[in-house]
Structure 1
Amino acid sequence: MSDTRPGADELRIRSILKKRGVGPDAQPPELPPGPPPAGFEPASEWWEHKPPTTEETEPDNDEQPDKPPVFAPQPGYYPRPHTPAFIDRSHHRAEAALSPRTRSLLYNASAAGTGWLLGLYHQLAAAIADCGQHYSVNGALVLGAGGSLLIAHFWDRRTRHWWTGLAWAARIPLATAILALALWAPAA
């Protein structure tokens, strides 16, 4: 049969809990003698609203209190987003493998190739060729260069700081517009 007597650890824990006022046979906490002193107010809780007194609402002009605003966030209150560590570490390892110019060439060439596969190149090249046939070669060059500059200013400039995969996908329109302008042959 099993022994139902409490062990030494259980007895020790029971005595600690009794001293702290926990349990059915615990010692009640000592109450202070007599009523609270005059002017004593219990600590207000955070959910209770106390209307400000007239002294707090109307400070003298020469005695402005130097209190910080009540609802001002502390400096570390808002989290600062950052790139995950595994992306940073793999980026630093890849730098030694390829030169910066080679990486830039591969980055932009793959974005232009993706634009070609998606059919964006054919639309841009057709617009430049149509402008060159109906208006002038200079008009087609202005359309291609102006379109590339507009894409670079209004789209690509704002997406360069994104994570690498998203920034690459956002580079597709600019790389494809430059490719369409570079491959346009007005004499053909």
Structure 2
Amino acid sequence: MSIEPGADELRMRALLKQRIDPKPADWWEPKPEPAEPDDEPELETAGRPPVFAPAPAYWPRPHVPAVLVHAPERAAAAISPRTRRLLYNASAAGAGWGLGLYQRFAWALNDCGTSQGVPAALVLGIGGALVIAHVWDRRTRHWWPGIAWVARIPLATALLALALYAPAAP
């Protein structure tokens, strides 16, 4: 057996040295640009279509379903705007009732009415509704309809509590 490395081992050492330390001694200097060969002919592809281009009708074009496009028109024809407004606000007030907001507003009105009097409770109810309308609802009206409906719940619930406030009831 010989101790000297063979040709394959020397070649592998050289390749590994290039991979581990690929920087030449003058790595800070820019490399010269390789000269372009002049003897290669250029391919003229300006007039030909691409080889692997799909046909125009191959990929489906996404579109909004017709049910969603025509639903607002059909709803506008089926329900008047006043009825839609009533259903929108009534459902928001019903959601506030279900979430327990009505009980809080009604308790505040009742507590103010028993301690300060009915006019103070009405001022609290009307003032609270105006503050909610001005600070919160006015800024959320233009949002996406589902989120705007959720944002309408406090105002609709406050108005419901004010409308159902009965100081003479036992």
TM superposition score normalised by structure 1: 0.55
Offset at 1:92? 2.4
Offset at 1:94? 1.2
Give the structure 1 partner of residue 90 of structure 2: 109
Offset at 1:182? 0.4
Say which SS state the counterpart of residue 142 (structure 2) adopts: coil
Give the structure 1 partner of residue 109 of structure 2: 128
Are residue 139 (structure 1) and residue 120 (structure 2) matched?
A: yes
Give the structure 1 partner of residue 148 of structure 2: 167
Query: Structure 2 stretches of 5 or more lacking a match?
Result: 1-36, 43-62
Offset at 1:88? 5.8
- The 5-angstrom pairing of residues 30-69 of structure 1 reads none
Partners of 1:121 and 1:158 in 2: how far apart?
Answer: 22
Picking from 119, 131, 137, the partner of 2:100 is 119
1:84-133 deviation per Cα after TM superposition (whole angstroms, max 9, x unaligned): 96666432221101000110110000000000000000000000000000
> Could you say if the C-alpha distance between residues 184 and 97 of structure 1 is closer, same or farther in structure 2, counting changes exceeding 3 Å?
same
Are residue 178 (structure 1) and residue 159 (structure 2) matched?
A: yes
> Could you say if the C-alpha distance between residues 88 and 186 of structure 1 is closer, same or farther in structure 2, counting changes exceeding 3 Å?
farther
Partners of 1:177 and 1:27 in 2: how far apart?
Answer: 81
Give the structure 2 partner of residue 26 of structure 1: 40
Identity over the aligned pairs, expressed in percent?
65
- The 5-angstrom pairing of residues 72-111 of structure 1 reads 89-111=70-92
Offset at 1:187? 0.6
Bigger RCO of structures 1 and 2 (CA < 8 A, at least 6 apart): 2
Partners of 2:72 and 2:118 in 1: how far apart?
Answer: 43
TM superposition score normalised by structure 2: 0.60
Partners of 1:103 and 1:91 in 2: how far apart?
Answer: 12
Offset at 1:146? 0.2
Greater helix proportion: 2
RMSD of Structure 2 on Structure 1 (CA): 2.4
1:65-91 deviation per Cα after TM superposition (whole angstroms, max 9, x unaligned): xxxxxxxxxxxxxxxxxxx96666432
Say which SS state the counterpart of residue 143 (structure 2) adopts: coil
Q: Which protein is bigger by CA-based radius of gyration?
A: 2
